Structure 1
Amino acid sequence: MLCTAPQLLRPRPRALWPAPRCSSSNDAQPSPLPSSTAAAGGIRRLVLPPEGRAKLDPRPDRDFYAFPRLVTHVDDGFIAALTGLYRERLRAGWDVLDLMSSWVSHLPPEVQFRRVVGHGLNAQELARNPRLDSFFVKDLNEEQQLALEGGSFDAVLCTVSVQYLQYPEKVFAEIFRVLKPGGVCIVSFSNRMFYEKAIGAWREGTAYSRVQLVMQYFQCVEGFTQPEVVRELPAAGGSSASPLDAVMRLFGMANSDPFYAVISYRNFKPM
């Protein structure tokens, strides 16, 4: 979902472009330290230039997302791939932060976590999510600091939402801060988006450049491990493909969503 003023963490109601390039622009970001001197969790460099952060719709995200959207934004194949990846990488008893979440988290139903904290823009959606033990509402494009204790989560998840972050460097630095040493961050995405709300670098990019962009988000923060990429692409089609399928693929509207995930860990020691 998209990333309203910060609210206190509270229990869920029980009854209810081309390849990305680095920029020297400061653009409301902290002054990055050179990579040789950046402390663990520090921002080593800026990934996006000002134009790469721009959205076609400049209105606050909280206005765009004022009403709940109780739908899934990817298809069953994507969801199955994501749940399978979570089943492989997450462990029972973990503390999990579901960043930019919604009414469903796609976590394996048989795995019980110690707690799952949700974050998003619409409280009604988050209250409907059965996997969340608590949640908070915050617009990460207005203020990136998370009111969460440092080193308190084994995993941070971000599903089909990274394309909306205008200040990803700060957000990924916060992800590093709240992760425990050795904790994992899994960022998943497809080719779908709210076009007017996606940043310019994402709108004008390709599948390859978007993967590279998310990798750079991790790499710009000192202390993340080298990102790992997982891809599951739709089949190229065979004799059973209909003419409509071919037309949809021609216009980039294949009837199956590609699955991409970029995974990195908070290193036990600064790299």
Structure 2
Amino acid sequence: MLSIHPPPRPRPRLWPKLPSPAHPPLPKFSASSSTPNNDINDSTATIKRLVLPSEGRTKLNPSSDRDFYSYPRFVTHVDRGFISSLTDLYRERLRPGSAVLDLMSSWVSHLPEEVEFGRVVGHGLNAQELAGNPRLDSFFVKDLNQDQQLQMESCSFDAVICTVSVQYLQQPEKVFAEAFRVLKPGGVFIVSFSNRMFYEKAISAWRDGTAYSRVQLVVQYFQCIEGFTQPEVVKKSTGSVENSPLDVLMRLLGMSATDPFYAVIAYRNFRPIYETTE
């Protein structure tokens, strides 16, 4: 247990330990705001409105997520085509030397191997999985459905990424507000997903949605936070065909045998000039 002064308060365990920054002010978790936040040096985040109704946040399996993920799952949750598309996107949007926060991570890294980052901090629900991720310099375990606050210094990351996990967030507005807070001005938040999920652990709004409505849901998560740029949507068919018996059967039935790729991207306050395309 780490202590931060002043005042003393609990802090998630990090492996290995990160330098202990001064504790940041609590983000502004307000459901609405009449005054836009235009100060790019303001480290707080304002929730303009709540996206989900209470019933949209429910799960078929209401048991603790920490218990559900208490044992490691050393499996790949998406196919090679999806991973290739995501790695290409990271190669395009994440600059060498960046500080990256990998939210809801696992043992698999999708970051491009040839790119050197300043530091990569991982978050997840299973320490064994996170310890197996070769790109993480440190990590911490935390249930974001129980406590959304990240014990990270404000404006300390160039990028936040969240891969195939947004469907499990029951308080996405608060999590996106925290992602905004820890990002530096001009920092990017990339949320990627496909059509796979642990069905009993996905929220109702996601389970009952379509591909289109799920994309729009993530867009609204960004739009409910004062200060994010207009979200950009990237979607495509990965085109990577596996040859397992199940994939062959799916193709014979006229069903897709590949994972569709979706990503929603926004920046804190502004998109840097080096990120623009001609």
Whether contact under 8 Å (1:99, 1:119) holds in the other structure is yes
Tell me the residue number matched to 2:182: 178
Q: Does 1:112 align with 2:110?
A: no
Question: Structure 1 residues 75 and 206, CA, compared in 2 at 3 Å: closer, same or farther?
Answer: same
Tell me the residue number matched to 2:7: none
Shift of 1:247: 1.9
**2: CA distance, partners of 1:234 / 1:156:** 23
Tell me the residue number matched to 2:24: none
Whether contact under 8 Å (1:100, 1:119) holds in the other structure is yes
Q: In the alignment, residue 59 of structure 2 is paired with which amino acid? A: K
**1: CA distance, partners of 2:171 / 2:248:** 42
Question: Structure 1 residues 162 and 33, CA, compared in 2 at 3 Å: closer, same or farther?
Answer: same
Q: In the alignment, residue 60 of structure 2 is paired with which amino acid? A: L
Q: Does 1:264 align with 2:266?
A: yes
Deviations 1:31-83 (A, max 9, x none): 4123x325362000000000100000000100100000011100000000000
**2: CA distance, partners of 1:31 / 1:232:** 35
Tell me the residue number matched to 2:32: 33
Q: In the alignment, residue 200 of structure 1 is paired with which amino acid? A: S
Whether contact under 8 Å (1:98, 1:105) holds in the other structure is no
Shift of 1:8: 1.9
- Kindly report structure 1 stretches of 4+ aligned residues shifted beyond 6 Å: none
Q: In the alignment, residue 164 of structure 1 is paired with which amino acid? A: Y
Whether contact under 8 Å (1:6, 1:138) holds in the other structure is no
1:93-242 → structure 2 map (5 Å cutoff): 93-233=97-237
Higher relative contact order (CA 8 A, sep 6+): 1
Shift of 1:9: 2.0
Shift of 1:6: 6.3
Q: TM-score, normalised by structure 1?
A: 0.84
Q: Which runs of 5+ in 2 are unaligned?
A: 1-9, 18-27, 39-44, 242-246, 272-278
Shift of 1:242: 6.2
Q: TM-score, normalised by structure 2?
A: 0.82
**1: CA distance, partners of 2:210 / 2:114:** 36
| 1:245 corresponds to which of 251, 256, 263 | 251
Tell me the residue number matched to 2:16: 11
Deviations 1:119-161 (A, max 9, x none): 0000000001110000000000000000000000000000000
Over aligned residue pairs, what C-alpha RMSD do you find? 2.1
**2: CA distance, partners of 1:193 / 1:186:** 18
**2: CA distance, partners of 1:217 / 1:98:** 18
Aligned length: 240
Shift of 1:10: 2.5
Deviations 1:216-248 (A, max 9, x none): 00000000000000011256x9xxx96641426
Tell me the residue number matched to 1:89: 93
Question: Structure 1 residues 37 and 10, CA, compared in 2 at 3 Å: closer, same or farther?
Answer: same
- Percent identical: 71
